[in-house]
Amino acid sequence: MSTHRHDSGSGAAIDRGPSPYLIGAAIGLLNICAFAAFRKGIGVSGAYESTAALAARRLAPDAVHVNDYVKARKDPPKFNWESWLVLGTILGGMAAARTLDGNDASRVDDRPGAEPKRLPLASAAGGAMLMFGARMADGCTSGHALSGTAQGAGSSWLFTPLMFGVGSLLARRARGARRRGGEV
């Protein structure tokens, strides 16, 4: 099941890959399996936190003992199924980018004169800021949208529509600025 859009110039259908509804259903099933197997829904910020804490313990073991944030953890950091989920997400994204009609990150920023590596670096910086905010808030967007709403958490049901609404508005603004050749 794939989605199509029509090229305005030729009217020909362009394959856009798998249906977002199919992907959403698959993620929902994955979340159900995670709740059944681990009594915990899927989310990625905990895996990033565990990876950073494990690296800190290896590289600077004395500093970890004085870090209040690390000391306040209920469980010691470990490489677990969430870490494999993050690794699979990264590798799966790379594989999809390479196999879907040659769409790779080096060609995403198509504005005239743009540096080819600008967008991936900006994405990495944005992701790092997002993870910092997620840990400050003790949760992340995927945790709220997938696991929080599945559990009926009021904060997640408030946050998730706002997240999608703001994201849609910003995407529309960025798309308009790109068409005009300006900055976002």
28, 30, 31, 34: CA torsion to nearest 10:
160
Are 21 and 71 part of one and the same domain?
no
- The pLDDT-based confidence of 22 (bands split at 50, 70, 90) is very high
| Residue ranges making up the domain that contains 13 | 1-39
Q: How far is CA 32 from CA 22, 75, 82, 173, in A?
A: 15, 23, 15, 35
Same domain (yes/no): 149, 174: yes
Q: How many domains does the chain have?
A: 2
Whether the Cβ atoms of residue 70 and residue 64 lie closer than 8 Å to each other: yes
d(CA 151, CA 116): 42
**More confident call, 129 vs 107:** 129
pLDDT of residue 151: 87
Do residue 156 and residue 65 come from a single domain? yes
Q: Let me know whether 32 and 46 are in one domain.
A: no
Q: Do 122 and 143 belong together in one domain?
A: yes
Q: Are residues 113 and 150 in the same domain?
A: yes
Based on the fold, state whether residues 138 and 125 are members of the same structural domain: yes
Is 1 in the same domain as 44?
A: no
Domain co-membership, 44 together with 24: no
| Residue 122: predicted pLDDT | 76
Each residue of 37-62: pLDDT tens digit?
A: 988 888 777 787 788 778 878 888 77
Indicate the pTM of the whole model: 0.58
